[in-house]
Structure 1
Amino acid sequence: MAVFWNRLGYTPIHIEEAQGHSGGIWVLSAWPGVSCNVVAASSQVVCVEFSNGGFSWVYAAIYASSVPSIREEAWRVLTYFSRNYSGPLLAIGDFNEILLSSEVKGGNFVSRRAERFGALLDECGLIDLGAHESLYTWFRHMQGNRFISKRLDRAVATDAWCFRFPKSYVENLTRMHSDHCPIMMRCQGNDRRVGVKPFRFQVAWSYHPSFSSVVRGAWDKGRPNPIRCFSQVRDDTLAFNRDVFGNIFERKKELERRVTSIQQRMERVDALSLIQEKRELQAKYSNLLMQEELFWYQKSREH
């Protein structure tokens, strides 16, 4: 797995392996000029100090147990660390707990547990940073047409961290094959702009049902000159990519946007038509992920 992440530009900082299907935390870094030092680690909490240019802050990766008695150990680690660290602290992950009755739909709200969680955050000096997009981050289909949704995943931070990153905000990303939403903390929005690239054949095109007819038609237009045939195939392929196939990443964003919209509607109403539509979109998304995998596989020049 370390080789896999390295190929994507990430360096593993610390790994807490899963126990069967439970737990597991991977902390990775894509900042080559930033010093990363693990300052506390347990099966449910991993604290890493990032240092660069004389400034340092700590990120706590959280994967709290779904069992309350075991989860208390995570709270002890977090409390002990916060008492002995006065710098900027950000904690993100699956806390497996909710704060408010509005953070659960279709299930029970246990005020005693919520009060315990709130007291923990107060003791550690942590503030809930809220989130954009979906209200809930965990979703489960129960028997019949019954669903339970909760906000189990969140980001919390100290005043010192919020002061250092005043433009930060949290996004609950689109949930696809997991019962949890990925969450993204954006500290500052730096847009990446991609320049014009020379023509290169993309293997992913061949998995579109219309592509073979595009190639045959373009080749026939260029007959009998082979050079003209290749030139026509290039031109028609570029038109196909622009008008039919489209940008993989833009199509991915659009599918994620549509799934997010359906999930938000499902938070308010229970409808079988929404479930079916979500399944169809997820099937398209899976096919798109396969095309994206081929894209990156080809880009890595692997055989």
Structure 2
Amino acid sequence: MVFLSETKLSDEEFRRVRACLDEYDGMEVDSAGRSGGLAFMWKKHIKCTFRSASLHHMDFEIHSDNGDWRATGFYGWPSVGDRVLSWELLRELGTQSMVPWVCIGDFNEILFATEMKGGSRPQWQMNNFREAVEDCGLRDVDFEGYAYTYDNGQEEQANRQCRLDRALCNEPLLELFPRAKMQNLTREWSDHSPIMLRLNRREMGEKNFHKTFRFEQIWVGEKGCEETVRNAWVDGGEDLVASLRSCADLLQKWNGNSIGKIVKDLNKKRRRLEQLNVGRRS
């Protein structure tokens, strides 16, 4: 599932984007010109029921094998003068059901002074956020990664960093998903870092089940793909099942030596970018 805020896209524009993502269903909240805009997307196999939406939230109920739970994407008012509206909305959402609930997004506020680097925050602003969180029976989901999810992009004394993006959940959700963990990912071009919530994390040493083979659309037209399929079909002989198995095996090997290598190189560069980002911020 994916929640996006500040998409700056109209309904029609975002529908065109979603049309390119065959595996996803979703809904969007129209932007106001080139500001605002929300989107919530989920894999088509996920059973999802729409609850409500506004310019600052999208609320859904998820029906999973673990049981029903609730996911809310939240975008807090950016203006300090309007921030009280964020906490009114959060409290209103908190009264609407007692099912396991996670609320994730950009709250445009911090809970504690330690969540800001450079500059300062009035205590009353943080208190208002904390009180709203407590009134809703929510708690901060533990996270991994760099502590600050927002960077104003300025250098030296003018640099400001905050943890504006987070996931909040109630106790029933942690009982349903006791391994839930947030991960703050590497910021590449936005002033906000993407965040990822993992609900069912495998522990170290647990069996990593074999991934089902899937033909990737990106392979079509790539040099070597057609030849790989042709060779696999010859190797399989007249046995259809053997030919399909051979095709899957050879395509996976070919992918690992071509496109897969590009992905590995890209991941290395991302890790290097993360090191440089953290180095600049320290």
Q: TM-score range by the shorter chain?
A: 0.7 to 0.9
The answer as to whether partners of 1:91 and 1:155 remain within 8 angstroms in 2 is yes
Alignment of 1:254 onto 2:268:
yes
CA distance in 1, matches of 2:150, 2:90: 23
User: In 1, Cα distance between the equivalents of 2:143 and 2:156?
Assistant: 30
CA–CA distance in structure 2, aligned partners of residues 196 and 156 of structure 1: 34
Q: 1:195 to 1:152 in 2, by over 3 A?
A: same
Correspondent of 1:10 among 8, 24, 37: 24
Q: Which residue of 1 aligns with 2:38?
A: 25
After TM superposition, give the deviation of residue 64 of structure 1 in Å: 1.0
Give distance in 1, aligned partners of 2:269 and 2:97.
Answer: 42
Q: Please state how far the C-alpha of 1:52 moved relative to its aligned partner.
A: 3.5
1:71 counterpart SS class: helix
Contact kept in structure 1, 2:153 and 2:191, CA below 8 Å: no
Tell me the CA shift for residue 200 of structure 1.
Answer: 7.4
Match of residue 159, structure 2, among 147, 151, 155: 147
Comparing 94-103 with 76-85, greater Cα deviation is found at: 76-85
**1:251/1:145 CA distance change after superposition, 3 Å:** farther
The 3 A distance-change label for structure 1 pair 102 and 144 is closer
1:111 aligns with 2:131: no
**Superimposed CA distance per residue, residues 202-232 of structure 1 (whole angstroms, 9 cap, x where no aligned partner):** 36xxxxxxxxxxxxxxxxxxxxxxxxxxxxx
How many Å apart are 1:53 and its aligned residue? 4.9
In structure 1, how many angstroms separate the alpha carbons of the residues matched to 2:95 and 2:161? 33
Is the helix fraction higher in 1 or 2?
Answer: 1
Measured on the aligned residues, the alpha-carbon RMSD in Å equals: 3.1
- Would the alpha carbon gap of residues 250 and 84 (structure 1) be closer, same or farther in structure 2, given more than 3 Å must change? same
Tell me which residue corresponds to 2:183.
171
Where does residue 135 of structure 2 map in the other structure? Answer: 123
Q: What SS is found at the alignment partner of 1:50?
A: strand
* Structure 1 residue aligned with 2:3: none
2:87–2:132 Cα contact (<8 Å) kept: yes
For residues 64 and 33 of structure 1, do their structure 2 counterparts lie closer, same or farther at Cα, with a shift above 3 Å needed? closer
**How far off is 1:54 after superposition?**
8.3
Q: Which runs of 5+ in 2 are unaligned?
A: 1-13, 203-207, 224-252
Letter in 2 for 1:66: P
Distance in 1 (CA, whole Å) between partners of 2:91 and 2:28 is: 21
Contact conserved, 2:141 with 2:169, CA < 8 A, in 1? yes
> 2: CA distance between counterparts of 1:105 and 1:54?
39
- Provide closer, same or farther for how the CA distance between residues 38 and 195 of structure 1 changes in structure 2, counting only shifts above 3 A: closer
Aligned pair in 2 of structure 1 residues 248, 194: CA closer, same or farther (>3 Å)?
Answer: farther
Could you tell me whether the CA contact under 8 Å between 1:134 and 1:264 is conserved in 2?
A: yes
Q: Distance in 2 between matches of 1:245 and 1:145?
A: 42
Query: TM-score, with normalisation over the residues of structure 1?
Result: 0.68
Shift of 1:15: 1.3
1:89 maps to which residue?
Answer: 101
Does 2:205 align with 1:185? no
Structure-2-length-normalised TM-score: 0.73
Change (3 A) 1:195 1:179: same
Letter in 1 for 2:98: S
Q: Which runs of structure 2 are paired with 1:1-303 in the superposition (5 Å)?
A: 1-8=14-21, 9-12=23-26, 14-34=27-47, 36-53=48-65, 55-142=67-154, 146-189=158-201, 193=211, 202=222, 242=257, 247-268=261-282
| C-alpha separation in 2, matches of 1:106 and 1:176 | 21
Give how far 1:195 is off.
6.1
Q: More displaced, 128-137 or 256-265? A: 256-265
